[in-house]
Structure formats: C-alpha cells, structure tokens
A and B are shown apart, each in its own frame.
Chain A
Amino acid sequence: MTPREIAVLLLAAGGVFFAVVAAIGLLRFPDVYTRAHSASKSDTLGAVLTLAAVALAFDAGLARVKTVLLVVFMFLTNPTAAHAIARAAADRGIEPWTTEDDE
C-alpha cells in the first residue's frame, strides 16, 4: 500500500467510527437535547474526517478545492443547525431529561 492509501484508509475509518458513535447516541439517549449533542458533535467530526479522506483521494485541483469547501461548510453549519433546533425545542417547552425521570 502506498502512503496515500494508508492515509485515506485511516481517515475513512475514523470517520465511520464517529458516525457510528453518533448513531448510537441518536438511538440510546433519552431526550432531544442529548440527541442533538450526539448528532451535532460526533457526526460533524465523522463528516470532516471522511471528507478529508475524499479530498486526499482526489488529485490536486478544483475537485480538492471543492471538497475542502465542503469540509469548511459542514464544520460551520452542522452545529449551527443543531443549536437552532435545540433552541426551537426549548421554546416549544420541551423539558430536559433529568435523573428523576429514570425508571
């Protein structure tokens, strides 16, 4: 394997790992705020790692520039969207989960 293939493999494996972490959080966490936490942070990191692998897989040029733009864009917008949704949930009066709710 060439060094580039090893780098792509490592970055893609890290991205898949964080995406799986985000999915487990989305399935297992008890309320909307904890799910937003898992979905925004873990999934953003997984997306950035995987898109870095994609940028490395392309030959240098316009395609790599577009992929780096995609990385920057997802890094900015994903947490912003999760924040807006969580704030809308708070405005609608959804109560956060506490340990007293645990059965």
Chain B
Amino acid sequence: MIAQILLGTAAAFLVVSLAGVYRIVTGPTAPDRVIAINLVGSNVVIVIAAIAAAIGEPGALDIALVYALLNFVLSIAISKFAVERGGFL
C-alpha cells in the first residue's frame, strides 16, 4: 500500500515537472530557464527518493543526495558566471 502511494507520488511529480520543461523551452530570459531547471532538478531528487522507498532500495538515497548537491552547485555556478565579472555572492 505504501509502495503504491509513493509510486503515485513519483508519477505526479514527473507530470508536474513538465511545467518546468515548458518554462525551460519557452522562458524569455536565461534566469527563467535556470529557475525552471532548479525546480525540475529538485523534483527529480524527490522522484528518486520516493522510488527508492517504494521498491525498498535504500542505496538509491545516496544518488538522491549527490543529485541534490549537484543541483545546488549548478544553480550557484550559473548565477555566478552569468553576470559580467560576477561579484554578487
């Protein structure tokens, strides 16, 4: 029962990510795209964790942790180097 709930949650998060994909494709400016990529990345982390719990594979949580770290570093790096001589942090 818990496995079905978590798999349904993962499917719902995948569908929600399509809104982020739309914003990545049509976003008028670059920061729009970066924000949408950040949202899709955190949704992917949740999907990995939910599927890991649903199929009883705790090892996949390490992948989710690393993915969350990379997502954060990606956002910070892009917003740092998208600005001319970025010195805003």
Contacts and interface: CB of A to CB of B under 8 A. Distances in A.
Contacts of A91: 83, 86, 88
Contact of A81 (B20, B22, B38, B65): B38
B9 A53 contact: yes
20 contacts: A5-B5, A16-B9, A23-B20, A24-B19, A32-B29, A32-B32, A32-B35, A35-B32, A35-B35, A35-B36, A39-B38, A50-B13, A63-B61, A66-B62, A67-B53, A85-B35, A85-B78, A88-B88, A89-B31, A92-B31
B38 A19 contact: no
B16 A39 contact: no
Question: Is the interface on chain B under 10, 10 to 19, 20 to 34, or 35 or more residues?
Answer: 35 or more
Contacts of A39: 35-36, 38-39
Interface string A66-83: 110110011001101110
Interface of B: 1-2, 5-6, 8-9, 12-13, 16-17, 19-20, 22-23, 29, 31-32, 34-36, 38-39, 42-43, 45-46, 49-50, 52-54, 58, 61-62, 64-65, 68-69, 71-72, 75-76, 78-80, 82-83, 86, 88-89
Question: Is the interface on chain A under 10, 10 to 19, 20 to 34, or 35 or more residues?
Answer: 35 or more
Contact of A62 (B43, B53, B58, B79): B58
